[in-house]
Amino acid sequence: NAGVMQNPRHLVRRRGQEARLRCSPMKGHSHVYWYRQLPEEGLKFMVYLQKENIIDESGMPKERFSAEFPKEGPSILRIQQVVRGDSAAYFCASSPPSRGFYEQYFGPGTRLTVT
């Protein structure tokens, strides 16, 4: 059973370009979470999605950022018109559908560098 997969692992974009980060959850997991880790800081929650639904996007900037988790295919975190401050590691985690507290399994992250 493959773990959470993210690609690309490293992404370089110029200011103003778009960045697309992909996350394939573990098999059988229908919940996906995106986190951002700025240098020297802890991970910060961005968004929580289930298949075809955004459940909680309270941690995601209102502008330029969007996320989706379609019925088929990976979850996508999209950043439009990137700025230098978007440079960070973006981690995706997934969990199985269950009540109560749940384990989140993290992917290896995508390191975005904006030049």
| Contacts with other proteins, residue ranges (CB under 8 A) | 4, 33, 35, 40-45, 48, 55-56, 58-59, 91, 93, 101, 103-109
Shortest Å distance, C-beta 16 to other proteins: 28
28 or 72: whose CB is closer to other proteins?
Answer: 28
39 or 85: whose CB is closer to other proteins?
Answer: 39
10 or 78: whose CB is closer to other proteins?
Answer: 10
Shortest Å distance, C-beta 83 to other proteins: 23
Shortest Å distance, C-beta 115 to other proteins: 20
Q: Among positive and negative, which fits the CA dihedral 115, 20, 59, 95? A: negative
CA atoms of 77 and 11, how far apart (whole Å): 13
2 or 14: whose CB is closer to other proteins?
Answer: 2
Token pair of 54 as six digits: 């955004």
